[in-house]
Amino acid sequence: MKRRSFVKASILTSAAGALIPQISMASETFAKSGQEFYELRVYSLKNGQQQNLVESYFKDAAIPALNRLGSKNIGVFTGLKPTGQTKLYVLIPYNSWDDFLNVQDKLTNDKVYLEAGQPYLNAPATAPAYERIESSLLKAFAHSPKLQAPQQKPRIFELRRYEHASESAGKKKLEMFNDAGEIDIFKRLGFKPVFFGETLIGELRPNLIYMITFDDTDAHDNHWKAFGSDPEWKKISAIPDYSDAKLVSRITSTILTPSACSQI
């Protein structure tokens, strides 16, 4: 038994020793490429009081503290026409993997943040600040490595999630965006993309998520009509390996409007 335990421990130690350099190399690669990471939070809320509490937390505590730590252009959004109480969507960019890993420890030591966020952070179980949080960690696309904040003016945002039947289908769809020119079509047609991200951790994987913005719902409809009839899009989508039937099993679209505290 002792020999068996020793062998098992040796295997685990060897595996860890092999994995750590790989993680380190991956972090260095992302740092050199300038690709950001995004945390996408979705707050389920019971009523307007909870919505006000969470929005106040981001306005007075979280956004200023995250800005001090180097996270800029933090987005806070509500549903445009929700059925019942809206959910709250929060997008937090990070410059690096290390920034994401260390953010909670740094916030815990930020006295200004802790004081300003006290109503949210210490909300009692009898009156919680929210019902639940769903979180996803995303890695920016290689062809769109950084978030592009649009001009601040009245506008709507569309958050789109493409789910895939397999990891290989997801990688092929990423190739379509990055290498085949799908992102360039969005930009050329004036969709004003905010970010594109591959979901590393989160629900309903494998999937990718991106955000685009429009002046209003009419502009939204007109842009998508132009996209569907665009000659370059027709050319790309006609390639058998890039057929949506092969690569995308479900598309979820959520139309959002920015909260008063949103930096996007």
Return the higher-pLDDT residue of 31 and 95.
95
pLDDT value of residue 33:
61
Average pLDDT, the chain: 90
Q: What is the pTM of this model?
A: 0.86
- Pull the structure tokens for residue 193: 């993309």
Decide if 152 contacts 186 (C-beta within 8 A). no
Instruction: Domains for the chain: give ranges and CATH numbers.
Output: 34-258 (3.30.70.100)
What is the per-residue pLDDT across 54-96, written as a single tens digit (0 to 9) for each?
Answer: 999 999 999 999 999 999 999 999 999 898 999 999 999 999 9
Return the higher-pLDDT residue of 151 and 220.
220
Strands (E), the chain: 37-44, 75-79, 88-94, 132-140, 156-163, 195-201, 207-214, 250-258
